[in-house]
Amino acid sequence: MECRGEIRRQLFFQTLPSLELELKDDRFLYFWVGAGKPPMFGDYEAQRHWQEITFNLPIKQWYFNSSDNNLQYWGLDYPPLTAYHSFLCAYVAKFINPDWIALHTSRGYESQAHKLFMRATVLIADLLIYIPAVVLYCCCLKEISTKKKIATALCILLYPGLILIDYGHFHLGFALWGILGVSYDWDLLGSLAFCLAINYKQMELYHSLPFFCFLLGKCFKKGLKGKGLVLLIKLACTVVASFILCWLPFFTEREQTLQVLRRLFPVDRGLFEALANIWCSFSVFFKIRDILPHHIQIMISFCFTFLSLLPACIKLTLHPSPKGFRFTLNDDLLQFYFFKLNYTTLVSYVSDHYDPSDDDDCHTGSSSETTRLICCVEL
């Protein structure tokens, strides 16, 4: 019986990626916001346009406004790793149909063949990065039954929010690999994956404090005069090396680096714009954007965000545990959503229940832990 159960488990985890890909493949049949509506055509066009720009223009012009790169028309505002991925996709697209990425003339291109290609780029990325991380996470869970492992995998991979919203907007990321790595003491792998996640989508910086505090707490726990110091040096080298490799083409000139940063962090938009947060609610009673200078608004947002994060991060540093790490990730996202500037949306999916009695052992899992984890996997 045990042998049969093991065989069924292996067969399920082998076929699970196919089920996930089949559901996501159907997603491309539906429309997206802005489909067929000039002049912007929606987020689909943004991803296509980035392929057009990265393939046809020199790397030094990717983030600069010019006659060939109108930043008001879906200008590139994601980190370098996204740009490199767009270039790779465009390189493949050229061999299939050069019209898809033709400079200027390809704007608004939405043929069925191109939609299939765009969806395929995400399916392949999912198959190579996201799905293996989910399957590995579920396989590593200890002291729970095979059925619960399967249920956990299904909850993550088939979560509608990721399929209908984030997957539909072509987002990719390495965050789950980072969480998986540091939770199971593969700290260098986790740090590398998290750095790649930041360099793919700057919103992952929201998770940087929990990662930093958790890893720093591990170093303190090992002792900063022995193994802890060695781990700290290894982690620092991993982070620095990964950022240098990702940003190297933009380090040639100071203005290049500054322009990329300006595109990634558009703080000039103010405390809120089209997205509601606590500042938007507060403005009903006190017109903070009209009364306070812009730089003061930024400082207020930073101070409130930092102070709201401090208690959970201090506790995580002093008492590092995988459960505390996951809790701090959720808390971190919520605080950023409430107090940050306007340029992102809430990506946290909070569990319906939180059981404080959950075992701290990183090798023990539950559905509540998994749903708390989902807040990060789509980045």
320-345 pLDDT tens trace: 998 899 889 888 877 777 766 554 44
pLDDT for 249 equals 95
The residue-averaged pLDDT of 262-278 equals 68
The DSSP call for residue 267 is G
The mean of the pLDDT values for the chain is 79
Q: Label residue 156 exposed, middle or buried (CB < 10 Å: 0-12, 13-18, 19+).
A: buried
- Residue 270 φ/ψ region, left for φ over 0, alpha for ψ in the -120 to 50 degree band, beta for the rest: left
SS3 state of residue 142: strand
Within a 10 A sphere around the Cβ of 144, how many other Cβ atoms?
Answer: 16
CB 377 within 8 A of CB 134: yes
pLDDT for residue 90: 97
Write down the pLDDT at residue 265. 85
Q: In the predicted model, is pLDDT for residue 370 greater than 70?
A: no
pLDDT of residue 199 exceeding 80, the answer is yes
Helix axes 367-377, 175-183, angle to 10 degrees: 140
DSSP letter at 248 equals G
Give the number of C-alpha atoms closer than 13 A to the C-alpha of residue 348, restricted to the C-beta side.
19
**Residue whose pair of structure tokens reads 């910086």 in the numeric block:** 205
Instruction: Check residue 364 and give its pLDDT.
Output: 41
User: Which of the four pLDDT bands, split at 50, 70 and 90, describes residue 353?
Assistant: very low
Asked if residue 285 has pLDDT above 80, the reply is no
**Residue 337 and residue 334: Cα distance in Å, rounded?**
5
> Is 70 exceeded by the pLDDT of residue 368?
no
> DSSP letter string over 171-228?
----HHHHHHHHHTT-HHHHHHHHHHHHHH-GGGGGGHHHHHHHHHHHHHHH-TTTHH
More confident residue, 278 or 325: 325
Contact 73, 49 (CB under 8 A): yes
DSSP assignment letter at 367: H
Q: What is the mean pLDDT of residues 55-76?
A: 95
Confidence of residue 33 (pLDDT cuts 50, 70, 90): low
Under DSSP, the state recorded for 165 is I
**pLDDT value for 258:** 95
Owner of token pair 């590092």: 320
Lowest-confidence region among 38-47, 63-72, 73-82, 100-109: 38-47
Q: Is 332 exposed, middle or buried (0-12, 13-18, 19+ CB in 10 A)?
A: buried
Bigger pLDDT: 227 or 282? 227
Cβ count near 251 (within 10 Å): 12
Helix (H/G/I), strand (E/B), else coil: 147: helix
| Contact yes or no for 206/332 (Cβ under 8 A) | yes
For 299, residues 6+ apart whose C-beta sits below 8 A from its C-beta are none
Q: Is the pLDDT reported for residue 304 higher than 90?
A: no
Tell me what pLDDT residue 355 has: 37
- The pLDDT of residue 274 is 53
β-strand partners of 364: 142
Which is more confidently placed, 371 or 140? 140
**Range with the poorest average pLDDT among 10-14, 35-39, 205-209, 268-272:** 10-14
Q: What is the largest CA-CA distance in the chain?
A: 72
The residues with which 142 forms a beta bridge, in sequence order, are 364
- Provide the whole-model pTM: 0.82
Chain-centre distance for alpha carbon 378: 5
The answer, yes or no, to whether the previous bond of 39 is cis (omega within 30 of 0) is yes
